[in-house]
Chains A and B, each alone.
Chain A
Amino acid sequence: MSGSREAHARHPFHPRGMAPHVIECKEAFMSSTTSAAVDPNRTRNRIFVGLGAAVIVATYLYLILAQPTELAEGGLGTSALIALAGYLIGAALIAVGAIHRLPTATLSLIPIAIVINIAVGQLAATLGLPVYLDSIGTVLVGVLAGPAAGAVTGALTNVIWGLTIGPIALPFAVTAVVIGVLAGYAARLGMFRRFYLAPVAGFVTGIVAALVSAPIAAFIFGGATSGGTGALVAAFQAFGNSLLASTTLQGLLSDPLDKTITFTVVVLILFALPGRLRSRFPFVRQYNVFGKVTPVAPAEPAAPKA
């Protein structure tokens, strides 16, 4: 943190024509107002996030442990209801608890990320690519602004998706939340300091995403989320796997690949961004997301001329 302050102080002008002390003041102002405004609700928001995470974990464990006996009795039982309600309530709690922590700069980044998610996801679908690519914006926000921001982006992307294209993606909101949170923690752990580490983080995120979304695909969609994935589920079932095992295997085939590509695209975009843009985000500076202690230093000397 002190390193980046020195970096700011060293430059005569900020690239957007704002003197560095103005930036510092703005940040100080932002952090003071948010903490002052949030203070009375701080514990409530923490409880929301914790409760949401607990509900999601409990839902997944219940579905994994209770499902075989219920299917053996020849029905769905309450699995579908628990998958839908548990995941939606958990995702909503996390999103509501997390959004109060976010400063205005992060909040104004989220709509852009949502639009990137939807636009690129649609583009990938119309190009007929075998991957979804619908979480580039979520991962981008998670890396630049932290896990809470990633979670909010993921959840609200699915709401927007429901309002603009169709409500079929809405039950998968929890997966988007998980992806945003994991991208944030991966950045915090330094997985975006080297371009070859990001795909590894993407692969791991993909595995978790596949596990979390398998019960939704199984109990709410009966394995039929789209033509191609449906064929895979049918093939796994034909070889004697249960429904949940089949959707899990299908997810493990496509999600890690998709998230590896997504994280790679994000790391390439972020590495191509000028350092001063990246280091504008407090989360990036606090956790040294891109590895260099003074990422602004090499790019800055040219700024006053421009």
Chain B
Amino acid sequence: MTTTTLYLERTSALHRLNPVTKLVALLSIILAVFAVPHWWIPLGIVAVVIVPAAVLGRVGGRLLRLFLILLLPLLVVLFLIQGLFYPDGSTVLWEWGLAQLTTEGLLFAITIGSRLTALVLGSLVFVLTTDPARLMSALTQVGMSPKIAYVISASLQIIPAFQARAQSILLAQQARGLAIVGSPLKRARALLPLLGPLILGMITDVDERSTAMEARAFGATPKPTSLIIVPDPVGERVARWLMFLSAIAVVVLVVVGVIA
């Protein structure tokens, strides 16, 4: 399960926290960041909360790498689009043909960009420090349907088996003369002889698996016993409510107009 996800197994205070607490913290941060109309607040939260959390969770290096791969290209595109082609820009700083570098466009780009940075980096720290199996157990403990936990855990476990099967089908089709090199169109055409057997085999498996699950009374008891019991101290439960309520308070203050 750990090989296919972004989760990094480390020992840290952040890893030991109940996953639900981390999830509530993440959602509270996102709520606050998207409510407040100032661009420096999301960046402040990234600097004061998210990056220190990543260092505390000993995933700082991986976070930096993912930032460079996932987020930086988006931010560059964002500043190119909105900085140069913002439709409502009036203060023109520089002009070249249809492109106009405007103050409004840059402000808009930095507002969206800072929120996006907080959203993506915050979620990444959560995913990097949270074992999916533990997350599912913790969420089931607080009332999530075990069916959702099953689907998510099963998907994560199927990925390696799926890749192995896709590889063997690809080799078999190549042995029969399927060309997988050449132009993108040619490679796209190779997709169908690969997908057909793959999906056929998978659907055949479904029947066996559901029979096995039915035989073990899957979904019969509303509250099944959990293999992993995630500790949920009172302090964390209180902290969850405090974070959630303060995020709601921020949203209310913004809507009422106190923070503008």
Contact = CB atoms under 8 A, between A and B. Distances in A.
Given A81-B251, A107-B147, A123-B191, A160 B155 contact: yes
A174 to B, nearest CB: 16
A80 B200 CA distance: 42
B145 A112 contact: no
Contacts of A30: 214
Interface in A41-70: none
Given A118-B159, A129-B184, 12 more contacts: A34-B219, A81-B31, A102-B147, A104-B213, A111-B158, A116-B162, A119-B159, A124-B188, A238-B99, A268-B192, A273-B199, A280-B207
B85 interface: yes
Contacts of A114: 151, 155
A162 B123 contact: yes
Given A237-B81, A265-B192, A273-B203, A163 B209 contact: no
Interface string A207-226: 00000000000011111111
Given A37-B220, A111-B151, A265-B192, A234 B34 contact: no
A22 B207 CA distance: 13
A107 B151 contact: yes
Contacts of B242: none
Interface in A272-291: 272-273, 277, 280
Contacts of B111: 75-76
Q: How large is the interface on A (under 10, 10 to 19, 20 to 34, 35 or more residues)?
A: 35 or more
A261 to B, nearest CB: 9
Name the prevailing secondary structure of the A interface residues: helix
Interface string B75-117: 1011011101111100000000011000010001101110110
Interface of A: 16, 26, 29-30, 33-34, 37, 71-72, 74-78, 80-81, 84-85, 95-96, 99-100, 102, 104-105, 107-112, 114-116, 118-120, 123-124, 127-129, 136, 140, 152, 156, 159-160, 162-168, 170, 219-227, 230, 233-235, 237-243, 246, 265, 268-269, 272-273, 277, 280
Contacts of B109: 222
Interface string B56-69: 00000000001000
A127 B184 contact: yes
Contact of A111 (B31, B154, B219): B154
B114 to A, nearest CB: 11
B123 A221 contact: no
A223 B81 contact: yes
B98 to A, nearest CB: 4
B6 to A, nearest CB: 7
Name the prevailing secondary structure of the B interface residues: helix
A85 B31 contact: yes
A129 B86 CA distance: 28
B210 A119 contact: no
A78 B127 contact: no
B251 A119 contact: no
Contact of A108 (B184, B200, B206): B206
Nearest to B98: A238
B87 A237 contact: yes
A123 to B, nearest CB: 7
B254 interface: yes
29 contacts: A76-B111, A77-B37, A78-B254, A78-B255, A81-B251, A85-B34, A100-B147, A108-B154, A108-B213, A116-B202, A119-B166, A120-B191, A127-B184, A160-B156, A163-B132, A164-B6, A164-B156, A223-B78, A223-B81, A226-B74, A226-B77, A230-B77, A234-B81, A237-B81, A238-B98, A238-B99, A242-B87, A273-B203, A277-B204
Given A76-B111, A242-B87, A112 B195 contact: no
B163 A230 contact: no
B45 interface: no
Among A85, A96, A99, A164, the most chain B Cβ lie within 10 Å of the Cβ of A164
